[in-house]
Chains A and B, each alone.
Chain A
Amino acid sequence: MGNAGLILQTPSWRAAAASVIGTQHEHAGGRCEDAWHVTRRFVPRVQQEVVAACVCDGAGSASQGWLGASLVSKLVSSWLVENFVTILELSKEDSSREIVAAAKRPLRRLARKSRLILREFACTVVAAAAAQDGRWVAVHVGDGGIVANFQEGLEAICLPKKGEFANETFFITDNDAATKIDIQASSTADGPRLASGFVLFTDGVESSLVNRRTMAIAPALATIFGWFVGTSNEEVSNAIEENLRGVFREKTGDDCTLAVLARMPR
């Protein structure tokens, strides 16, 4: 579920991503319910190109979770690129409402057309958008998470927001999604905190990458950032896919998705 062949290369932000089906879905003859999308556009207001990536995990309990994940990954990444400046200016409450509406509106139309309830398209959202100068926004609903690469090192900026129990989580289709959404951005009182990389991941990969008690980040992420040197985005995407299949997937029964944005020197 992705568009590996369509990723465009720009002088500053590189992008690579892949999803692989989990062993549980594979053995049951099911499909991969994760999806990802990467998009980029020149934004006149900042006179820079903005890149956005979004990974989504379709709810196992929703009949169309895989489709919700596929659509929402495209909707949210496109919305973030188009509204990059606005979201940096809006309050978190307003941004939350706007993002949830942008994702839900088309899903509702589709649900009506398919005579299904919105919940049947439930999925999580893990998204980040960044401009060439290193300013960024990150959006998160449910499980999975984001690690950012700052000058000080790698840091988990979004971690799972779930209920008390391991099989409870939040979805973009929830009625109260706007209150469950986590929005992080580069803006701080001391000026923007610029980033040079993001790793976005779904639940299947999360426990291999971040220790939620100590907040330690797996050394594997520094390795993956290193793959961008002297390779094409497509080669990195292929390597991510091979490693998800051969290494990460061995540690979980779940679908695995990893998307990486890396700001490379010109």
Chain B
Amino acid sequence: MARELMLVRTEDLLLNPTNRVPIALCLDASGSMAGAPMDELNQGVRVFFDALQADPIAKASAEVALVTFADRAETAVDFQGLERISQPPVMTSTGGLTSLGEGVNLALDLLETRKDEYQNAGVDYFQPWLVLMTDAQPTDISNAQQAGQRACDMEGQGKLVVINIGIGTSADMNTLAMFSKKHKPFSLQGLKFRECFQWLSKSVIRVSQSRPGEKMDWDYKGIKGWGTLD
């Protein structure tokens, strides 16, 4: 057989879905976030979406859900590929309550549902991420305790990566600490949401490129650009 005939055509290969990285952003939209904090948070989330969309592998891999919590928890964006959502919706702060527990439970419910969908569709996925940000104390304490236990159980079984971040001096770091047994909560420096989300996007990009058997370590050095670990 002539050498030039020994060719595999691209159309004779199969196209399997890219491995997914589901990330649930669970963000405080209570009244205390009004003004500069919410503006900066919106810009940070936009930086996050832009950075993931700019990376070809992350664009095909990362799926982001956005849950906000105030008087109630709401799904602002359900899980979907980044090609379907060019810009995240602009969040506004409303209400006087901080239903953090309800927010985390909703975010974890969305993650569980998405994982089932991946499994049914034969799509491989990486460990899901929960990114939790708040500037206050939860007003639904028992819900928050139950959601904290749920997150820790999943984290302990290696089924969840938790990134819990306190915003400003009023954030209840003790409550935030309930959401991870692996590390203490982070404190955001000032309103460095953009730097924080840039770091997050880089971490997601690294995960989306990881290969079987590869261990992903935190970029602790990068955290110093936006936060502190108490």
Chain A positions within 8 Å of B, measured between CB atoms, are 24, 57, 59-62, 65, 122, 124, 142-143, 162, 164-169, 171, 203, 207-213, 216, 218-220, 223-224, 226-227, 229-231, 235-236, 238-239, 242-243, 247-248, 250-251, 253-254
B8–A220 CB distance below 8 A: yes
Q: Once the chains are docked, how many angstroms separate the CA of A218 from the CA of B9? A: 11
Interface residue tally on B, bucketed by range: 20 to 34
Instruction: Given A210-B14, A220-B13, A254-B211, check contact A166 B8 (CB 8 Å).
Output: no
17 A-B residue pairings within 8 Å (CB atoms): A61-B213, A166-B20, A166-B125, A167-B212, A168-B212, A169-B213, A171-B213, A203-B212, A208-B13, A211-B14, A211-B16, A219-B12, A220-B12, A223-B8, A223-B12, A251-B13, A253-B209
B13–A248 CB distance below 8 A: yes
Q: Once the chains are docked, how many angstroms separate the CA of A168 from the CA of B215? A: 9
Q: Once the chains are docked, how many angstroms separate the CA of A62 from the CA of B84? A: 37
Residues of B within 8 A of A231 (CB): 1, 6
B212–A142 CB distance below 8 A: yes
B126–A166 CB distance below 8 A: yes
* A227 to B, closest residue via Cβ: B6
Query: Interface 1/0s, chain B 160-184, versus A by CB < 8 A?
Result: 0000000000000000000000000
Residues of A within 8 A of B213 (CB): 59-62, 65, 122, 167-169, 171
B14–A165 CB distance below 8 A: no
| Min CB–CB distance A178 → chain B (angstroms) | 19
The yes or no answer to B54 lying at the interface (CB within 8 A) is: no
Chain B positions within 8 Å of A, measured between CB atoms, are 1, 3, 6-10, 12-14, 16, 19-20, 57, 121-122, 124-127, 159, 207, 209-216
Q: Once the chains are docked, how many angstroms separate the CA of A200 from the CA of B157? A: 33
Residues of B within 8 A of A208 (CB): 13-14, 16
Residues of A within 8 A of B121 (CB): 213
Q: Once the chains are docked, how many angstroms separate the CA of A246 from the CA of B29? A: 50
| Min CB–CB distance B80 → chain A (angstroms) | 19
Residues of B within 8 A of A224 (CB): 8
Q: Once the chains are docked, how many angstroms separate the CA of A166 from the CA of B19? A: 7
Q: Once the chains are docked, how many angstroms separate the CA of A211 from the CA of B10? A: 15
Residues of B within 8 A of A168 (CB): 212-213
Given A169-B212, A209-B13, 5 additional A-B pairs, CB 8 A: A65-B213, A165-B125, A167-B214, A212-B122, A243-B6
B16–A218 CB distance below 8 A: no
Residues of A within 8 A of B6 (CB): 227, 231, 235-236, 239, 242-243
Q: Once the chains are docked, how many angstroms separate the CA of A60 from the CA of B13? A: 25
* B208 to A, closest residue via Cβ: A166
